[in-house]
């Protein structure tokens, strides 16, 4: 009996009349967010190449790996694998949201300092895309019922160099900003892929439960 009910309910989303009014759940949003991260990855590859050439050697050299001197305020994407696996959905999404909020601010600062109009256009375009990703993550969080993290007052990240901040250190920070952004996009792709897979099975169960209740 239960199996029968399950079978019927499993196919309910396929019925157009029912599907039109039903909530599709966070699945499509997660898929869209995943797609957006992959798109941004692609976009960043081009942007980073241009920007690092603009900074000049050694920043545009492929094996250049400077220490993270002045970029401590940047959100770190690298995390222990076990820790990453143990993250729950809410925390995972929250970290993503916070990271991109900060990175977007820094990126806008980068845009203001860029000397060439072409670079400014590219950066502005990327900022718009990143803003879209942020909105997409917020949408997934809302769909799952998680609240958006509120920024603490007075902790608005800035990317303005301090008085003792040399131009070389500034370039290092720019380098790290782009590198961290790239790492975050890789991580986010994995995050949302994991979330997507995870949501497929339980989401069906939730749907089943809700629909069964409806019966």
| Residue ranges in 180-209 that form contacts with other proteins under rule CB under 8 A | none
Among residues 83, 115, 117, 152, the one that binds other proteins under rule CB under 8 A: 115
Q: How far is CA 51 from CA 24, 123, 162, 202, in A?
A: 40, 9, 22, 43
In 3D, which of 180, 138, 142 has the Cα closest to residue 159?
180
Q: Where are the alpha helices (DSSP H) in the chain?
A: 2-10, 16-21, 27-55, 81-86, 89-113, 117-143, 167-214
Regarding 171 and contact with other proteins (CB under 8 A), the answer is yes
Nearer to other proteins, 10 or 64 (CB): 64
* Cβ count within 10 A of residue 7: 9
Nearer to other proteins by Cβ, of 23 and 167: the residue is: 167
56 near other proteins, rule: CB under 8 A? yes
Residue 67 touching other proteins (CB under 8 A): yes
Residues 127-166 that bind other proteins (CB under 8 A): 166
Binding test (CB under 8 A) with other proteins, winner from 16, 57, 153, 154 = 57
Backbone angles phi, psi at 28, to 5 degrees: -60, -35
What residue ranges bind other proteins (CB under 8 A)?
54-59, 61, 66-67, 69, 113, 115, 166-169, 171-172
């Amino acid at each position: 009996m239960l199996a029968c009910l399950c079978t019927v309910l499993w196919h309910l989303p396929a019925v157009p009349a029912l599907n039109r009014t039903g909530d599709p759940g966070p699945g499509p949003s997660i898929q869209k967010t995943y797609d957006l991260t992959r798109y941004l990855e692609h976009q960043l590859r081009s942007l980073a190449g241009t920007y690092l050439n603009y900074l000049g050697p050694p920043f545009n050299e492929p094996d250049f790996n400077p220490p993270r001197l002045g970029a401590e305020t940047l959100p770190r994407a690298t995390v222990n694998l076990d820790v990453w696996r143990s993250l729950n959905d809410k925390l995972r999404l929250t970290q993503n949201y916070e990271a991109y909020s900060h990175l977007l601010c820094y990126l806008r600062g980068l845009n203001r300092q860029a000397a060439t109009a072409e670079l400014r256009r590219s950066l502005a375009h990327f900022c718009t895309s990143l803003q879209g990703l942020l909105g997409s993550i917020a949408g997934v969080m809302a769909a799952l019922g998680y609240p958006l993290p509120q920024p603490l007052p007075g902790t608005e990240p800035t990317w303005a160099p301090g008085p003792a901040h040399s131009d070389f250190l500034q370039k290092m920070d720019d380098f790290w900003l782009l590198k961290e952004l790239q790492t975050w996009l890789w991580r986010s792709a994995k995050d949302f892929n994991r979330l997507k897979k995870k949501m497929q099975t339980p989401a069906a169960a939730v749907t089943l439960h809700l629909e069964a209740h409806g019966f």
